Structure 1
């Protein structure tokens, strides 16, 4: 039983979302590359978040959402209003291109 206690302490953390979009980041949209052909490219951002807590993997959906929220926040600080993922998330990291489509 005493060996299970650390596991029970970590499990609730696996469901937590640690990243929230900022007010400005909430206005940034994740789009497909075909939707930015008329937009101004502003650069790239890379998001990184924890994909595991201790030995426990976090939910892929929660990790993916946090990566997008982080990218949206960073894109807003660059003056962007759209982001395009540059491939799948890997090991808690993902890159995005930032655009101003206005």
Structure 2
């Protein structure tokens, strides 16, 4: 019995870590931005997308941050299929599902951070607030 329990622990860990396999940002979706501030007033609505991911594995809740990240990736992928360049969350995630609005804003609404204009580099020699600094893991 003791050997069976020792074998189940690595298998359970592997199963929980493998939940996001296959959820990748499509090439077309790389140009879709997320309007976290909700500013889509000058944009044309393209439609609504509903996306969902697994939020629980058995009795274990998955990381809220990971679930939210995967929902955003899926929303951007779906918006790209509609020809939209911007997504906006229409509500909070609920049991691994979330509705998003898809919009076409163009570079006018994107300002300096348009599709063909990468964001400006961060200022050098600045002290992060609270002593913490966040950096992107991938470009």
Same fold (TM > 0.5): yes
Cα deviation for residue 52 of structure 1 reads 1.5
Q: Is the 8 A contact 1:11 1:56 kept in 2?
A: no
Q: Counterpart of 2:69 in 1: which secondary structure?
A: helix
Partner of 1:91: 95
Unaligned runs of 5+ in 1: none
Cα deviation for residue 7 of structure 1 reads 4.4
Cα deviation for residue 4 of structure 1 reads 5.6
Partner of 1:8: 10
Partner of 1:28: 32
Q: Is the 8 A contact 1:10 1:53 kept in 2?
A: no
Cα deviation for residue 14 of structure 1 reads 2.4
Aligned length: 101
1:17-72 CA-partner distances (Å, limit 9, x unpaired): 23111001111111022x21000001100110011222222111111110000000
Tell me the distance in 2 between the aligned counterparts of 1:28 and 1:76: 7
* Match among 41, 53, 56 for residue 57 of structure 2: 53
The RMSD of aligned alpha carbons is 1.5
Name the structure where strand makes up a greater proportion of residues: 1
Unaligned runs of 5+ in 2: 107-139
Structure possessing the higher radius of gyration over alpha carbons: 2
Q: Counterpart of 1:36 in 2: which secondary structure?
A: coil
Partner of 2:113: none
TM-score (norm 2): 0.66
TM-score (norm 1): 0.88
